[in-house]
Amino acid sequence: MLATLLAALDQTIVATALPRIVTDLEGFNHLSWVVSAYLVASTVTIPLYGKLSDLYGRRRLFVIAISLFIVGSLLCGLAQTMGQLIAFRALQGLGAGGLIPLAQTTIADLFPPRERPRYQGYLTSMWGIAAVAGPLVGGALTDVVSWRWIFLINLPLGLLALVVVVRTMHVPQQRREHKIDYAGAIVLGVAITCILLASVWGGTTYPWGSPEVVGAAIAGIAGVGLFLAIEHRASEPILPLSLFRNRVFAVSTGANAVFGAVLFSVSIYVPVYLQGVLGDSATISGLVLMGFSVGWVTAASLTGNAMSRTGRYKPFPIAGAICVLAGVSLLTQLDSDTSHALAVVFLTIAGIGMGLSVQAYVVATQNAVPVPQLGTATAALVFFRSLAGSLAVAGLGALLSNRLAAELTDRLGNAALRVDTNRLLQGGRVAPELSERTHDALASALQPVFLVTAIIAVAGVACALMLEERPLRTQQPSPEEPSRQSA
């Protein structure tokens, strides 16, 4: 529970502080990398932690993951430049990649299947606490003390988790020999990084047709091709391609990619709107963003009970995808005159949609794959959600930077050169005679960001309609028993 709380808090507490971070470290054009560096590192290591824990035990890997997370958090809190912060966020992500999968696997080690849902519920409650407390605590720390404390607060929590694991965690472990797909993990990490570099550099650091952007894109695509070839030949691939022959898994993977893009678009760029356009404090933006979190947690709780009672799951992602599309589409209407109450309503609608959907796809996948592939399939959903979130943050960050430069030029002409975008997210840092027009420019630049997010959400509706309904299993088959549902 402590490890899950660490990982969950980091995903919810950072968003409200990002505008202040990029102001202090003067890195507006690199805003997306603060999130992407963490996501890439954690995403690539998720499958590795699972396999390594089979070889060396959960406890040892837990100690490594928590220790890396603590060290990364400390260095993030001490970072003096945007480059340092991005590098330290990657280190923090290397630890975070093990926190959630190891916690979920440990539940399976400790308790029989019939008891697991109750204990998994305890882990889910940590996400609920983080969803409500994270944005508020992050905003309050940023306003009252410093944004650095959103990272430093991880130290006491992490040390407590480390002490508990070292002193009390005695998990029965049956050693199972595995071949680790290191080649696949390395090639995947390089490919993702190259694609992200092309997304972030394009149109900002370098022109889209520049050798740097084109070269990074070609390297990324080639890396993906090489990764697929490695996975096809690997005896124990990090991502078994055979899983994609399972229609439920394939559809659920696509849906999770959509939700990853929507989640990080909302979490990162709504605070930019609130603080940069409306001039809110980090605390206020955290309170507004709570509408998204509360809607998600409430809907997820009700959905879980309903699925257990009825044995059906398909109606929930259909309703959820429609809500997500509606909520994100409404965000395209945000401007400098939008009220906070209206923003909360839009976010709550989107949050309810996420709560209705995400859990249903996990249940559907775990119901459709054979027992030996449960961990791999579940980790794959998390993997693609994080990967899509990384790509969305990078791509949308580049779109925002490009549109903002164009909007400032259109509205201010030569005076646009006087606007420091690194200071734009704090209204007092912009010349008074330019303030209103610069805030309007930022509002207009954000609208395409939310429009693209809404277009992505349309794919979520398509995935929900394609999802196959299969009766939920009431008993867990043994690992040796072939699963007809995996066909």
Residues 319 and 389 in one domain: yes
Coil, strand, or helix at residue 280?
Answer: coil
In-domain check, residue 368: yes
What whole-number distance in Å separates Cα of residue 55 and Cα of residue 37? 28
- pLDDT number for residue 416: 64
In-domain check, residue 486: no
pLDDT of 313 strictly over 70: yes
What whole-number distance in Å separates Cα of residue 116 and Cα of residue 104? 10
Q: What is the mean pLDDT of residues 394-398?
A: 80
Q: What is the pTM of this model?
A: 0.78
What whole-number distance in Å separates Cα of residue 81 and Cα of residue 35? 15
What pLDDT digit, counting tens, does each position of 234-288 carry?
887 877 888 899 999 999 999 999 988 998 888 888 888 888 888 887 778 878 8
Q: How many domains does the chain have?
A: 3
What pLDDT digit, counting tens, does each position of 373-395 carry?
766 777 778 778 877 887 887 78
Residues 116 and 138 in one domain: yes
pLDDT of 483 strictly over 60: no
Of the three residues 136, 156, 180, the one that is the final residue of a domain is: 180
Q: What is the DSSP string of 135-185?
A: HHHHHHHHHHT-TTHHHHTHHHHHHHHHHHHHHH-------------HHHH
- pLDDT number for residue 108: 65
What whole-number distance in Å separates Cα of residue 390 and Cα of residue 307? 30
HEC assignment per residue over 19-52: HHHHHHCCCHHHHHHHHHHHHHHHHHHHHHHHHH
Rounded to the nearest 10°, the torsion over CA 345, 351, 352, 356 is 170
Residues 48 and 188 in one domain: no
Residues 341 and 258 in one domain: yes
- pLDDT number for residue 175: 57
Contact 361, 32 (CB under 8 A): no
What pLDDT digit, counting tens, does each position of 427-436 carry?
445 555 556 7
Residues 278 and 427 in one domain: yes
Residues 175 and 190 in one domain: no
- Tokens coding 235: 């005896």
Residues 113 and 165 in one domain: yes
Phi, psi for residue 333 in degrees, rounded to 5: -90, 0
CA distances from 226 to 127, 147, 301, 420 (A): 36, 40, 41, 42
Residues 358 and 425 in one domain: yes
What whole-number distance in Å separates Cα of residue 96 and Cα of residue 3? 9
- pLDDT number for residue 2: 87
Domain that holds residue 411: 242-475
- Tokens coding 433: 């005679």
- pLDDT number for residue 363: 79
Residues 112 and 188 in one domain: no
In-domain check, residue 172: yes
Residues 300 and 356 in one domain: yes
Least confident of 58-72, 201-215, 314-328, 334-348: 201-215
Q: Cα angle at 372 between 369 and 373, to 5 degrees?
A: 45
- Amino acid in position 21: I
Residues 56 and 188 in one domain: no
